[in-house]
Structure 1
Amino acid sequence: MSDWQVYAVKYAERNTRTRADSFIFDDNHDAPHAMDYYIWVLRRGDEVILVDTGYDGAEAAARGRPIALDPREALKPLGLRPEDITQVIVTHLHYDHAGGLHLFPNATLHLQEAEMGFATGPCMCHDTLRAPFTADHICEAVKRLYAGKLVFYSGSAEIAEGLRVHCIGGHSRGLQCVEVRTQAGWMVLASDAAHYYENFLANKPFPIVVDLPEMLQGFSTLRRLASKPELIIPGHDPLVRQMFPVGPAPHIFRLDQGPVRTDLLKGFKP
């Protein structure tokens, strides 16, 4: 089979953050540190798989975190309509990754068992653990389950030829990354297993963490799965926009042919 095309689709950003929001025990904690928000599109011939859904205007208003583009609008330059999306890999159920599940009503969801158990179990009695989740998004996932449109995985699994998921945990109990074969080699969409390149290149954990050892081990797993470190795609790093070429619109970036710059990663060391 042929390789997959992979696109990162940016739909929002936050420029009011500091490094304390991104790294535990960072020496330069009050320095600005921006965050981008992406969803990802995998394409091979007529096959299209969406990885995560972003969140919509209602969630943006509720959390005071505006979006630049509704995820449905963001996908239009790729010739995709919401009703065309029939498969969605949900890396985890946090609001910025599963907040648009309802926007893609025809999609079957691919999710780790551990993530559904975490998001609907006793850990959600704690405000701190519950904060990144929104009840309506979890209910939408449950509705898909009862409609026969949710596939569970436990650990690693092949979703399609040249496409696998792996449970990482750490940031959320059932967080999974996506390993995909591309022209440039085996690429790993880390999602929030590494928010930034610096997380996994310098072994610096992200502060929102359920299991710190799992998060640190996850960095090693990402490096093992990818053909080379520059093919690990973090979930929120603005550097993605500098390293990869622009696709069919200014907010879309083509990943599968590999980065056009790798020098930007040289300063990140453990």
Structure 2
Amino acid sequence: MSDWEVFAVKYADRNARVRADSFIFDDNHDAPHPMDYFMWLLRNGEEIILVDTGYDGEEASARQRPIRLDPVTALAPFGIAPSDVSQVIVTHLHYDHAGGLHLFPNAALHMQSAEMAYATGPCMCHDTLRMPFTAGHVCEAVRRLYSGKVIFHDGDGQIADGVTVHCIGGHSRGLQCVRVRTQAGWLVLASDAAHFYENAFARKPFPIVVDLQDMLEGFGTLERLASKRDLIVPGHDPLVREYFPTVMAPHIFRLNAGPLEKIAL
């Protein structure tokens, strides 16, 4: 049972944000609060698992949210061609996590059943709930389903030896986190179960939410799944770039040895 290497791959950022965009209850609501956008890559010998896919230039233009690197270019330092990726864990179907599914045509998708039902069901009649989704991305997941390349999980599921998924919900109905066995212990890729360290550690919910109770209880689930709190990696926090070392390229950060120092929150 060998341990996995885990990398955070930054492909975009947004600096024109304030704390009100990140926390429902915050006294300092108008202070700047930038956000980073990541994909994650798991590697164990020759085995590769991609966690989320980012979004491409077309989506960046449509939403007026520029990217610094398209997903394929961002992964190039690993020597990986898009056709080499055979498994993608889709934490949820929001545009910034599933916007590059079409770029990896050979990949089977690991999803929660609840996420597909949510993204294709009556909740999408509401503009507010539909806003983080893009129809083409959801349709790509459906096309992959009809080609026999979607593996559904209901709650907890095992992807490989040392890699499991766990349904959290809250931010999206079928949002799942990823637990990975590493040299530092069990590391948890929170994805959007905690956009920022502060969401989870200070129990401050993120404003885009379908079930607030699930989101709040999910913070505790992240802590139970990780070997220690410092091994929870939030989905969008620029602090990840400070706590973890850069490797291979300026936008890639190695997570599997743990943070360089204790998370000070």
CA distance in 2, matches of 1:40, 1:247: 14
The within-5 A match list for 1:57-206 is: 57-206=57-206
For the pair 1:12 / 2:15, whether they are aligned, the reply is no
| TM superposition shift of 1:79 | 1.1
TM-score by length of 1: 0.98
What is the match of residue 208 of structure 1?
208
Aligned residue for 1:91, secondary structure, equals coil
CA distance in 1, matches of 2:25, 2:224: 26
What is the match of residue 234 of structure 2?
234
| TM superposition shift of 1:162 | 0.6
| TM superposition shift of 1:75 | 0.2
For 1:88-120, what per-residue CA distance to the aligned partner results, in whole angstroms no more than 9, with x for missing partners? 000000000000000000100000000000000
Aligned residue for 2:97, secondary structure, equals helix
Given that 1:242 and 1:261 are in contact with CA atoms closer than 8 Å, whether structure 2 keeps it comes out as no
Runs of 4+ in 1 over 4 A off after TM superposition: none
Aligned residue for 1:245, secondary structure, equals coil
Q: Mind listing any 5+ residue stretches in structure 1 that lack a counterpart?
A: none
What is the match of residue 39 of structure 2?
39
For the pair 1:244 / 2:236, whether they are aligned, the reply is no
Q: Mind listing any 5+ residue stretches in structure 2 that lack a counterpart?
A: none
Amino acid paired to 1:105: P
Amino acid paired to 1:256: N
For 1:68-97, what per-residue CA distance to the aligned partner results, in whole angstroms no more than 9, with x for missing partners? 000000000111111110100000000000
CA distance in 1, matches of 2:182, 2:81: 24
For 1:118-168, what per-residue CA distance to the aligned partner results, in whole angstroms no more than 9, with x for missing partners? 000000000000000000000000000000000000000111111100000
What is the match of residue 54 of structure 1?
54
Amino acid paired to 1:110: H
CA distance in 2, matches of 1:60, 1:131: 15
For 1:8-50, what per-residue CA distance to the aligned partner results, in whole angstroms no more than 9, with x for missing partners? 0000000000000000110000000000000000000010000
What is the match of residue 217 of structure 1?
217
TM-score by length of 2: 0.99
Amino acid paired to 2:158: E
Amino acid paired to 2:32: P
Structure 1 vs Structure 2: percent identity of aligned residues?
A: 73
CA distance in 2, matches of 1:230, 1:79: 29
| TM superposition shift of 1:247 | 1.1
